[in-house]
Each structure stands twice: as C-alpha cells, then as structure tokens.
Chain A
Amino acid sequence: NAGVTQTPKFRVLKTGQSMTLLCAQDMNHEYMYWYRQDPGMGLRLIHYSVGEGTTAKGEVPDGYNVSRLKKQNFLLGLESAAPSQTSVYFCASIMREGTTEAFFGQGTRLTVV
C-alpha cells in the first residue's frame, strides 16, 4: 500500500517549457488536491477534484491546469513555466465522508530557470 505517490520528485525547467506532475493514490479516495509551498510559507491550494472527471479552482490556479480522468490519478500541468512557479508541489487525497484526515505525497521540487 503506497499511499500517495508523486512523480517526479525533482525537476528543473527552462522558462516557457511545459511539464506534467503526476499524483497517484491507491486508497480509493474521492477527493484529491494540489498545493504549492514556497520557502518559509504555508501551503496554497492550486486546484482540487471531488471525484473522477471533476476539477475545481483553488486559491492560486493561474498558470496551472489539472485533469482527473481516472479516480486514482490527479495530473497538474504547467503549459508555459515561469520562474514564479518555482516551488515545492504537494498532492493530497482524502476520503469523501466522515473524515478530516488527508494523506500527502512526498512532494515535487520544481525549479524554473
């Protein structure tokens, strides 16, 4: 039982390049989330999904797109990376009802140069 797995763990991009971050969970959770965390700051919600085929905007959605084609996977895309998107990205999942316990991945450290 792997929990929440993020791929890749590290990445360096040049400005203007695109990439996709993958979040996979094997707990059959309904809700999934993408956050970014800048140095010394709290987590900020980028996008989230309440179920397969659904996505919604969080606090800081600009410059990112997401897709949830399969229940277990939540993809975060950067179409044209900018240095301001240099951050650590965390994915999380939660069961739909009766719990407040979210499970987080190990993070993806992204640097845009």
Chain B
Amino acid sequence: LAKTTQPISMDSYEGQEVNITCSHNNIATNDYITWYQQFPSQGPRFIIQGYKTKVTNEVASLFIPADRKSSTLSLPRVSLSDTAVYYCLVGDFGGRDDKIIFGKGTRLHILP
C-alpha cells in the first residue's frame, strides 16, 4: 500500500468545481488509484479509479500525471449533497495488497 496525503478539509460553494489532490510518492507499478465518498452515517461508496492520464464517469473525473505521484479528484459543479468525506487509496487491491486501509480522508463542506 502506498502512503497517501490529502488535505484534511476543504470548503467550497455550490456550483463551483472542486479539486481534491492526493499525494502518493511511493506508488508502485501495479498500483491503482481509487477514490471513495462517504456520507454521514453511511459506508463509503466507490467513486472512481484510474491508473494513468484521465478517467471520467458520471460522478467525477480523475486526473493522474505521467509520474503518477499524485492524483486529483475533480467534482464538477458541486451541490450541497456533495458534502462528504473523500478518501484516496492507492494499492494493488486483490493482487499484491490484501488490506484496504483508509486514511483520514478530506472532509468537503459545500456552502450555499
């Protein structure tokens, strides 16, 4: 598992684009980058995963530079309902890594 560093908290306003960056300097060749979202009183929910360049789905985009030592989760035009904790995980889950370890995540607070 690669150690990850992400901001503890962020505030933004409705309608804005939010970018959350995660640093993972010791990412390994087979590691994937995965982001989860957790609302209060619920279990985490998978948002997006990627290996390199850019991945986009109906919820978010994930940008990964060529050196893969960081990644950025981008949430377009956020709403109040995007207030949640966002976790960045890096590893070869189901392969080399058996454990799925969550860090403290980034607490995103969307303001009206």
Q: Whose C-beta in chain B lies nearest to the C-beta of A56?
A: B98
Q: Is A41 an interface residue (CB 8 A)?
A: yes
Quick one: given A92-B43, A106-B42, A106-B43, are A99 and B102 in contact (CB under 8 Å)? no
**Which secondary structure characterizes the binding site on chain A?**
loop
Query: How many residues belonging to B are interface residues under a CB distance threshold of 8 Å?
Result: 25
- In the complex the two chains form, is A100's CB within 8 Å of B94's CB? yes
Which residues of chain A have C-beta atoms less than 8 A from B91's C-beta?
100
Complex CA distance for A44 and B99, rounded to whole angstroms: 11
Residues of chain B from 38 to 55 with CB closer than 8 A to chain A in the complex: 41-46, 49
In the assembled complex, the Cα of A41 lies from the Cα of B102 at a distance in Å of 10
Within 8 Å by CB of A94, from B41, B94, B103, lies: B94
Shortest Cβ gap from B72 to chain A (Å): 17
Chain B contact residues: helix, strand, loop or mixed: loop
Which among B49, B85, B102, B105 has the greatest number of chain A C-beta atoms within 10 A?
A: B102
A31/B94 in contact, CB under 8 A: yes
B18-44 Cβ-contact flags toward A at 8 Å (1 or 0): 000000000000001010100001111
CA distance A105 to B43 in the complex (A): 6
CA gap between A91 and B105 in the complex, in Å = 18
Determine whether B69 belongs to the interface, using a CB cutoff of 8 Å to chain A: no
CA distance A97 to B93 in the complex (A): 8
Cβ of A31 and Cβ of B98 under 8 Å apart? yes
Chain A neighbourhood of B103, CB < 8 A? 42
- Complex Cα spacing A88 to B95, Å: 28
> Digit string of A82-105 for contact with B (CB within 8 Å is 1, else 0)?
000000101010111111111111
Residue pair A100, B105 in contact (C-beta under 8 Å): no
